[in-house]
Amino acid sequence: MAVTLAEPKFAEFEIKKSRFLGWVEPVSSVQAAKQRIADIRQQYPDARHVCTAFYVKGQTGLSDDGEPSGTAAKPMFNVLNHKGLVDVVAIVVRYFGGIKLGAGGLSRAYGNAISLALENAELLTVESQWQIALSFPFGLENQVRHVLGKAGLQLQQVAYHDQVSAELTVKQSQKNEVCELLQTVAPAGDQLSISVSALD
């Protein structure tokens, strides 16, 4: 089951005079992950490398920022993946100490920075989400919006063609209830088309 962090975590250590500062933080979007990376870059403009890895809403992003390919972001991402973390960004700032660590040493150091940051992390279970795609006659739109409103939901991606098409995103715990509510709008089932698919 997927998990995320309850709060941002940080760790710092030194190896062969190189300093590694590691952050792992929960984020709600790719844009938020990129913004956090930009913030750290701005805070540490004199750092030799700012390497990053994120996994947010099924999208990944990895940057070795000048380190040899595969020696920084990938081991960082592997730690996130091993722990089943989603909707997180990992950032490691390195201050070079003048002694080269070699590819193996770099991989261990970058992975270790993230592992240390996560040592006492509180994890939260992430409930899986489902997308419901709808198609219905114009005459049912008000009723559909009304029943969804009672469940605290709104239509998304609404388009008007021969019929109204729309989508909504719901949590696993809401899925069956929402589908049942929608079926009350058109009990015969021939006017309202419902398609449900899991989101990553």
**CATH number (domain holding residue 137):** 3.30.70.120
- Do 48 and 114 fall within a single domain? yes
Which of 85, 101, 125 is at the close of a domain? 125
In this predicted model, what pLDDT tens digit does every residue of 89-133 receive, in sequence order?
Answer: 999 999 998 889 999 999 999 999 999 999 988 888 877 778 889
- Do 94 and 8 fall within a single domain? yes
In this predicted model, what pLDDT tens digit does every residue of 54-84 receive, in sequence order?
Answer: 999 889 999 999 999 999 999 999 999 999 9
Range of the domain at 173: 129-198
- Do 93 and 148 fall within a single domain? no
Q: What is the CATH number of the domain that holds 103?
A: 3.30.230.30
- Do 55 and 137 fall within a single domain? no
Q: Check residue 191 and give its pLDDT.
A: 82
Closest to 137 measured CA to CA, from 160, 167, 168 = 160
Distance from C-alpha of 178 to C-alpha of 102, rounded to nearest angstrom: 55
Distance from C-alpha of 93 to C-alpha of 110, rounded to nearest angstrom: 9
Closest to 179 measured CA to CA, from 128, 132, 123 = 132
Q: Looking up tokens 């709104």, which residue turns up?
A: 154
**pTM for the predicted model, two decimal places:** 0.69
Residues 6 or more apart whose CB falls under 8 angstroms from that of 16 comprise 97, 99, 101, 105
**Tokens coding 15:** 């190896």
Which of 75, 100, 125 is at the close of a domain? 125
Residues 6 or more apart whose CB falls under 8 angstroms from that of 39 comprise none
Number of domains making up the chain: 2
- Do 143 and 117 fall within a single domain? no
